[in-house]
């Protein structure tokens, strides 16, 4: 085993890790980032991102009161006030700081609500096109800035164990090829993303069938940081939710069908049914919540979206790389017929059951009794685009086989407002911090509220760096 030392060790070379490292370097500390990826352009969610910065679909520069209200609305009060207020207060300064480092953003148009978006933008076409765009350019630039400030990025290094001395985190044990390295440090930041690519953890917390979920991500989020911290007594938040979207089932085998187009908006205006032809969730909560509901099904690949021509021409054209026309252009499987029974037969659903499901839904839409459906259906949620229920009456009718695409997990390590990891006893673990997809408590809950992946990574990465700077100065 070789011994190395740094003021701060950061596990994970995504946006959260770089934000923490750069903030530490600006305070005169010597940070080192341990990144498991071996390639120069190692994959992580921050590199393949579309690059939109937002807090609960609101402008990060909109001010703390506006952002706090947006978080409350999106999560229906799930986020603790201390974390909510810290996130809301620090999001704007964090984005200004990032831009001050030389990261260029643009207003990308109505499809993304004119929110700050990394430049050059990712092209609006199906499939992954990250090279030389958005997150790729950002991470390259941040690496350069870190090197200029005396920090280091070490690739092909995978963290394995936290070093604990007198209940204090004092470093990390990691491996590089066949070698083991001991990194002693004044503080450790866990910023290696969520656990979406770890089938055992996904099975433990999210779905009985992780192999039937679409990894709508970089496939590198193994949950190492979470597991290391759990071993030393860290408290976990509610772990059951993830951020993702509803995709065409063909995306399971065709990389050109993810991350877009999604089927979120036709479902938000119509319905989703299981393999028995029955509704199983509140479609009005929209794509992220519906994707989570699909993942919880006994067969996550048994769900089907049902809608009609009016929905196809309205909600089907909503948002970036919409279902209409991109499902057609990519050759994804979907069925069109002149009756509900016809599309049921094509999709392999029980005809009579689906017809009855659609009839009950139509009656509820027209009588405005959606809350009396089983399960009840929300309608016209202001913070969710295209969530207003529409009747399914205008032929042709459509059926789209679905899958749940998981981008990152919302649950993770419990932290306080200074990004310090919390022990099960309720006290912070001295010397241990976390940021980005490794943390929980800012999203999820009963309504699967979404508050923004990039914004969370940037803001709490910066908060962690600031907290460490103050702690080590003392």
CA 147 to chain CA centroid, Å, is 29
- List, in order, residues 6 or more apart from 359 with CB less than 8 Å away: none
Q: Rounded to whole angstroms, how far apart are CA atoms 317 and 460?
A: 35
User: Which pLDDT does position 319 carry in this prediction?
Assistant: 78
The alpha-helical segments, DSSP class H, found in 247-350 are 264-269, 287-295, 309-313, 323-329, 340-347
For 234-255, what is each residue's pLDDT tens digit?
A: 999 999 999 999 999 999 999 9
- What is the Cβ-side half-sphere exposure of residue 262, based on CA atoms within 13 angstroms? 23
If DSSP codes are grouped into helix, strand and coil, which group holds residue 163? strand
Q: At what angle do helices 15-26 and 134-148 cross, to 10 degrees?
A: 20
If DSSP codes are grouped into helix, strand and coil, which group holds residue 467? helix
CB atoms closer than 10 angstroms to residue 47: 24
* Rounded alpha-carbon distances, angstroms, from residue 465 to 8, 16, 31, 288: 9, 10, 10, 30
For 331-366, what is each residue's pLDDT tens digit?
A: 999 999 999 999 999 999 999 999 999 999 999 999
Ranges of the chain with pLDDT below 70 = 109-113, 380-387
Can you say whether residue 16 is alpha, beta or left, with left for phi > 0 and alpha for psi between -120 and 50 degrees?
alpha
Q: Rounded to whole angstroms, how far apart are CA atoms 300 and 269?
A: 21
Closest CA to 139 of 23, 259, 49: 49
Q: Rounded to whole angstroms, how far apart are CA atoms 462 and 468?
A: 10
Tell me which fold the domain 2-239+410-473 belongs to.
Answer: FAD/NAD(P)-binding domain (3.50.50)
Closest CA to 247 of 266, 232, 220, 222: 266
* Partners of 171 in beta bridges: 163, 184
Q: What is the DSSP string of 386-415?
A: T-S-----SSSEEEEEEEEEEEEES--B-B
Q: Are 276 and 314 in contact (CB under 8 A)?
A: no
Q: Are 396 and 341 in contact (CB under 8 A)?
A: no
Q: Rounded to whole angstroms, how far apart are CA atoms 25 and 152?
A: 10
Domain with CATH 3.90.700.10 in the chain: 242-406
Phi, psi of 212 (to 5 degrees): -100, 15
Tell me which fold the domain 242-406 belongs to.
Answer: Flavocytochrome C3; Chain A, domain 1 (3.90.700)
Closest CA to 252 of 403, 372, 109, 353: 403
User: Which pLDDT does position 114 carry in this prediction?
Assistant: 76
Q: Rounded to whole angstroms, how far apart are CA atoms 292 and 385?
A: 18
Domain with CATH 3.50.50.60 in the chain: 2-239+410-473
Q: Rounded to whole angstroms, how far apart are CA atoms 290 and 72?
A: 20
Q: Are 24 and 32 in contact (CB under 8 A)?
A: no
């Amino acid at each position: 085993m070789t011994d190395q030392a740094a003021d701060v060790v950061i596990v994970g070379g995504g946006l959260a890790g770089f934000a923490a490292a750069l903030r530490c370097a600006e305070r005169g500390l010597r940070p080192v980032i341990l990144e498991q990826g071996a390639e120069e352009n190692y994959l992580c969610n921050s590199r393949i991102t579309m690059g939109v910065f937002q807090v609960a679909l609101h402008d990060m520069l909109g001010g703390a009161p506006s952002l706090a209200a947006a978080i409350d609305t999106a999560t229906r009060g799930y986020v603790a006030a201390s974390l909510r207020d810290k996130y809301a207060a620090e999001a704007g300064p964090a984005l200004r700081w990032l831009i001050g480092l030389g990261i260029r953003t643009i207003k990308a148009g109505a499809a993304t609500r004119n929110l700050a978006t990394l430049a050059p933008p990712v092209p609006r076409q199906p499939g992954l096109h990250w090279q030389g765009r958005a997150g790729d350019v950002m991470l390259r630039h941040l690496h350069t800035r870190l090197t200029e400030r005396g920090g280091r990025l070490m690739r092909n290094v995978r963290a394995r164990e936290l070093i604990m001395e007198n209940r204090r985190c004092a470093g990390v044990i990691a491996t590089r090829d066949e070698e083991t390295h001991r990194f002693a440090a004044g503080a450790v930041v866990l910023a290696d993303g969520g656990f979406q690519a770890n089938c055992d953890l996904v099975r433990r917390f999210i779905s009985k069938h992780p192999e039937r979920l679409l990894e709508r991500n970089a496939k590198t989020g193994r949950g190492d940081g979470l597991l290391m911290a759990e071993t030393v007594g860290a408290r976990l938040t509610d772990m059951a939710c993830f951020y993702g979207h509803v995709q065409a089932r063909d995306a399971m085998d065709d990389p050109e069908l993810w991350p877009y187009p999604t089927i979120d908006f036709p479902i938000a205006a119509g319905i989703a049914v299981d393999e028995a032809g029955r509704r199983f969730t509140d479609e009005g909560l929209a794509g992220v919540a519906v994707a989570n509901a699909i993942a919880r099904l006994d067969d996550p690949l048994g769900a089907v979206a049902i809608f009609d021509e009016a929905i196809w021409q309205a909600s089907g054209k909503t948002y970036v790389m919409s279902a209409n026309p991109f499902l057609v252009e990519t050759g994804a499987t979907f069925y069109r017929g002149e009756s509900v029974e016809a599309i049921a037969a094509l999709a392999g659903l029980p005809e009579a059951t689906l017809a009855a499901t659609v009839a009950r839904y139509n009656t509820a839409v027209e009588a405005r009794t959606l809350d009396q459906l089983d399960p009840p259906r929300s309608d016209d949620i202001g913070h969710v685009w295209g969530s207003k229920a529409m009747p399914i009456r205008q032929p042709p009718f459509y059926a789209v086989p679905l899958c749940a695409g998981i981008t990152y997990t919302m649950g993770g390590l419990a932290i306080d407002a200074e990004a310090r990891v919390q022990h099960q006893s309720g006290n912070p673990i001295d010397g241990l911090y976390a940021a980005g997809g490794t943390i929980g408590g800012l999203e999820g809950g009963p309504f699967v509220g979404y508050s923004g992946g990039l914004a969370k990574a940037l803001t709490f990465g910066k908060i962690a760096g600031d907290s460490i700077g103050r702690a080590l100065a003392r």
